[in-house]
Amino acid sequence: MARLKAATLTMALLVGLSGCFGEEEKPVPKMDFINIRNDSSTEVSVRVKLWTKEALPIQAGDTGRIEFKAGARTVQVDARSRKQWDDCWVTMQIGETLVVSDATERIGCSVE
Domain positions in the chain:
32-111
Burial bucket for residue 75 (CB in 10 Å: 0-12, 13-18, 19+): buried
| Percentage of the chain modeled with pLDDT above 70 | 83
Average pLDDT taken over every residue of the chain = 83
- Answer yes or no: is pLDDT of 13 > 60: yes
> What distance in Å separates the CA atoms of residue 103 and residue 5, rounded to the nearest whole number?
84
> What distance in Å separates the CA atoms of residue 97 and residue 92, rounded to the nearest whole number?
8
Q: Confirm or reject CATH 2.60.40.2890 for domain 32-111, answering yes or no.
A: yes
Query: What pLDDT, on a 0 to 100 scale, did the predictor assign at position 14?
Result: 66
> What distance in Å separates the CA atoms of residue 64 and residue 58, rounded to the nearest whole number?
7
Rg of the chain taking only CA atoms, in angstroms: 26
Cβ atoms of 44 and 107 closer than 8 Å? yes
